[in-house]
Amino acid sequence: MAEPSSAEPESFVLRLQTGERLHYLDWGRPERTDLPPLVLVHGIAQTGWSWTPVARRLRGLTRVLALDLRGHGLSEAPRSGYGLGSLALDVITVMSGNGWGSDVGGPPVVIAGHGFGAQVAATAAGLRPGSVAGVALIDGGWEEVGEATRSTPAEFLAAIAEPPEVMRTMEAFLADRRDFDPGTWDADQERAARAQVDEKHAGHVGLVARHAVVRAVVEAMFDYRPVEALRSVACPLLVLAAEAATADDEDARERWLALQDVERARAALGRSAARVVRLPGAGHNLMRYRPAEVSAELAALLRLAATSGGTRDAPA
């Protein structure tokens, strides 16, 4: 795996037929590649910048795009369209705009999603199986969130709300993000954090993803049914799981039971088993805490998708 590049991405905006604009980062074209393009999807209230440590490592292998979902980052925030189907179609539209996928007669891509973005990635693969050669679920996408968190959408929203003291100033917000793990804090992490918020005239900050957007996305996340979604993913599937807790932790056991349910449902349809990689001692943001391992696994998935033609299982 190559060392991370110092190159910067280009910023593009694609306009949907309905008029909304979607922003994405394009990390450039390698001189030569036989690998599928890679599309990266962030989690709740994040942006495409959250993928920078991984994009820097993979941009020399293939074309890498990291988009801002609608309502996030520099993408527009319409009043509607935050269901998983709509968000997945946004991803497919960005693919089509770059000449990829069955809708435009282009090559299939590998899609990697983090957290809620993993649900979007799985949904996109189900909607356009001929357009997706591989799917990576980065610490999300295989659990029913209500069961996993034992909460309602309203309770979940309250749990993830930023404390007022964190949003008091940009400096306070950045310090809070840095203190998650000072050893992994660098200029790229600071830029990703800054992209999450707007600085107000009074000095305090607010999330770019407004409360109504986050609420709608959380409701979509709770509606996701992983067994149904992942049964329809016929291409190679990669699962990367953070294991911050000890092996005997009840929540950790529940995560693996949920994944076993998904794998049994896929096996019943003749789907190939997912590659599952556990990353002990790591927090949810694996792109920050374990970028080398995430990049290496995605590179392997890209190669598998290329050599197998995104091998699809026989239709069930």
Residue 174: inside a domain, yes or no?
A: no
Indicate if the pLDDT at residue 301 is higher than 50: yes
**Residue at 255: amino acid letter:** R
Residue 220: inside a domain, yes or no?
A: yes
Residue 4: inside a domain, yes or no?
A: no
Residue 2: inside a domain, yes or no?
A: no
Share of the chain above pLDDT 90, in %: 86
Residue 144: inside a domain, yes or no?
A: yes
Lowest-pLDDT choice from 242-246, 267-271, 308-312 = 308-312
Q: What is the mean pLDDT of the chain?
A: 93
pTM of the model: 0.95
Residue 189: inside a domain, yes or no?
A: no
Q: Sorting pLDDT into bands at 50, 70 and 90, what band is 244?
A: confident
Residue 181: inside a domain, yes or no?
A: no
188 contacts 178 by C-beta, under 8 angstroms: no
Indicate if the pLDDT at residue 315 is higher than 50: no
Pairing outcome for strands 64-67 and 38-41: parallel
Residue 168: inside a domain, yes or no?
A: no
Q: Sorting pLDDT into bands at 50, 70 and 90, what band is 311?
A: very low
Q: Which tokens sit at 183?
A: 């050893």
Domain count, the chain: 1
Residue 74 is part of a domain; what is its CATH number? 3.40.50.1820
Q: Sorting pLDDT into bands at 50, 70 and 90, what band is 2?
A: low
Indicate if the pLDDT at residue 283 is higher than 80: yes
Range of the structural domain that residue 127 is part of:
10-151+214-308
pLDDT of residue 299: 98
Helix (H) or strand (E) holding 140: none
What are the DSSP E strand ranges found in the chain? 10-15, 21-26, 38-41, 64-67, 109-114, 132-138, 197-199, 205-207, 237-243, 275-280
Describe the crossing of helices 84-97 and 116-127 by its angle, rounded to 10 degrees.
70
